């Protein structure tokens, strides 16, 4: 636990002891259960109050992250910073700071103003913007979780590319987020920016006895480059797509190869404005996927480019800067180039990636036959829509070849 985090808890304990002095002995506060958050990790702790001994005793309990060790037991003196003659006053030296939603709203507003003042062409080199997009997690921790980290990573990448349309889209999302954070404590959009929706009980659904197919994995930017790992899974029965993601190398993601067949005994899902979030609790994995399962996925794949684009912009209107749709696309067999597949509406959806490896693999496979499916993430870049492919399926009947492209 950082010194700053401990000071915040100590300040809270001082305030509670001040209130406790006014209570009858039989209702005196002696202990309090705390759910604290630091660096995106929740910790359940018991704070034992003992004014006679002059200490606050912090007993660390459950930590909601498997690879984080318990921090043990520590004591903080209540005498620190007390006013003379006051038995339990808050530390006078503690500077006033904005916490939680207020601080996040202020950060979003400051970042938006800084980018607009510098201009899209210069904001990527602005010291102010660069400092805001690289907060020191120990000195200036921001609330929120993976969605906020992903938004910051996308904004940094868009500024580097001088992509004015994407920058404005992301800033509009940040502006709406800041407004929601200041308007209401229970605004769903505010809670989404704070990270409170993500598998913490709100709008969570249980998912039993279903079969999913993982069609893609990708590393994407967060606070740092390629800091997040995402896994995209589809339900062959309903065509619904789920996203399982975490910080790279963080324990919490399910295990197994890609592609894989996941038989779900128990999972949690949340239908957020961005991806539908998935967390697998109990499951079994098989690398063997029957042709009938792939055929079921192909039967429900998108065939028209215009319907995919309509769905993309509809999501952006509802949650600008947050939504990143993952789609399964079945291109027409007559597509002339593997990098510009054509839909049934004769519109092309160019492919885009971060290296030449995926394009070389795709061209080599496409030289024999057109793919049955291309699964990937829709990307708006410099005013044009692309598909960033994660995988492709080739062949027919019992001779199917699945190729990872990311």
User: Could you give the strand order of the β-sheet that contains 399-404, starting from the edge strand earlier in sequence?
Assistant: 326-329, 373-381, 384-396, 399-404
Lowest mean pLDDT among 1-10, 209-218, 295-304: 1-10
Domain coordinates in residue numbering, the chain:
3-77, 100-194, 204-293, 301-404
CA distances in angstroms from 233 to 91, 130, 280, 391, listed in the order given: 51, 34, 11, 12
Q: What sign does the CA torsion over 41, 45, 50, 54 have?
A: negative
> What is the rounded distance in angstroms from the CA atom of residue 199 to the CA atom of residue 308?
28
SS3 state at 276: strand
Residue 24 confidence class, pLDDT cut points 50, 70, 90: low
For 221, residues 6+ apart whose C-beta sits below 8 A from its C-beta are 150, 153, 154, 156, 157, 227, 228
- H or E segment at 88? none
**Containing H/E element for 396?**
strand 384-396
Tell me which CATH code domain 204-293 carries.
Answer: 2.40.50
Higher pLDDT, 39 or 92: 39
Beta strands in 248-325 (DSSP E): 260-271, 276-286
Phi-psi group of 259: left, alpha or beta (phi > 0 → left; psi -120 to 50 → alpha; rest → beta): beta
- Cα separation of the two ends of the chain: 37
Is residue 220 within 8 A of residue 228, CB to CB? The reply is yes
pLDDT per position as a tens digit, 243-261: 998 887 776 688 888 899 9
The tokens for 78 are: 């209540």
The confidence score (pLDDT) of residue 58 equals: 59
Tell whether the model's pLDDT for residue 71 goes beyond 60: no
Could you tell me which residues are beta bridge partners of residue 63?
A: 43
DSSP 225-256: TT-EEEEEEE-TTT--EEEEEEETT-BTB---
Residue 199 tokens read as 């598998």
In the 8-state DSSP scheme, what is residue 15?
A: H
Mean pLDDT of 199-211: 79
SS3 content of the chain, % helix, strand, coil (to 5): 30, 30, 40
Instruction: Supply the pLDDT for residue 374.
Output: 92
How many CB atoms sit inside 10 A of residue 225's CB? 11
> Going by C-beta distance under 8 Å and a sequence separation of 6 or more, which residues neighbour residue 179?
none
pLDDT at 178 exceeding the cut of 50: yes
The pLDDT confidence band at residue 370, using thresholds 50, 70 and 90, is confident
- What pLDDT is recorded for position 87? 37
pLDDT at 53 > cutoff 60: no
Element (H, E) at 377: strand 373-381
What pLDDT is stored for residue 224 in this prediction? 85
User: Which helix (H) or strand (E) element contains residue 131?
Assistant: helix 127-132
């Amino acid at each position: 636990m950082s010194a700053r985090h401990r000071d915040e808890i100590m300040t809270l304990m001082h305030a509670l002891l001040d209130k406790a002095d006014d209570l009858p002995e039989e209702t005196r506060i002696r202990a309090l259960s705390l759910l604290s958050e630091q660096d995106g990790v929740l910790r359940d702790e018991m704070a034992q109050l003992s004014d006679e001994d002059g200490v606050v005793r912090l007993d660390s309990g459950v930590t909601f992250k498997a690879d984080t060790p318990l921090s043990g037991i520590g004591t903080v003196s209540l005498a620190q910073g007390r006013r003379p003659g006051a038995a339990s006053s808050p530390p006078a030296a503690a500077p006033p700071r904005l916490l939680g939603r207020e601080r996040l709203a202020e950060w979003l507003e400051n970042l938006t103003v800084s980018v607009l003042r510098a201009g899209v062409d210069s904001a990527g080199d602005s010291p102010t913007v660069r400092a805001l997009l690289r907060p020191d997690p120990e000195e200036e921790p921001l609330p929120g979780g993976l969605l906020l980290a992903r938004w910051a990573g996308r904004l940094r990448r868009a500024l580097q590319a001088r992509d004015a349309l994407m920058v404005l889209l992301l800033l509009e999302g940040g502006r709406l987020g800041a407004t929601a954070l200041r308007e209401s404590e229970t605004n769903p959009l505010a809670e989404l920016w704070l990270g409170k929706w993500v598998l913490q009980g709100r709008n969570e659904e249980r998912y039993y006895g279903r079969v999913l197919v993982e069609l893609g994995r990708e590393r994407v930017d967060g606070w740092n480059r390629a800091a997040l790992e995402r896994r995209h899974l589809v339900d062959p029965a309903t065509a619904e797509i789920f996203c399982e993601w975490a910080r790279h190398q963080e324990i919490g993601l399910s295990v197994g190869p890609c592609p894989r067949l996941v038989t779900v005994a128990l999972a949690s899902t949340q239908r957020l404005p961005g991806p539908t979030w998935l967390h697998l609790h109990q499951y079994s994995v098989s690398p063997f996927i029957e042709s009938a399962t792939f055929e079921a996925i192909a039967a429900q794949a998108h065939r028209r480019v215009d319907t995919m684009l309509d769905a993309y912009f509809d999501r952006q209107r509802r949650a600008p800067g947050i939504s990143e749709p993952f789609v399964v696309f079945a291109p027409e067999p007559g597509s002339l180039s593997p990098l510009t597949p054509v839909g049934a509406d004769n519109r092309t959806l160019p492919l885009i990636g971060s290296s030449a490896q995926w394009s070389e693999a795709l061209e080599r496979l496409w030289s024999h036959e057109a793919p049955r499916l291309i699964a990937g993430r829709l990307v708006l870049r410099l005013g044009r829509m692309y598909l960033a492919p994660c995988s492709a399926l080739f062949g027919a009947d019992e001779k199917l070849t699945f190729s990872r492209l990311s």
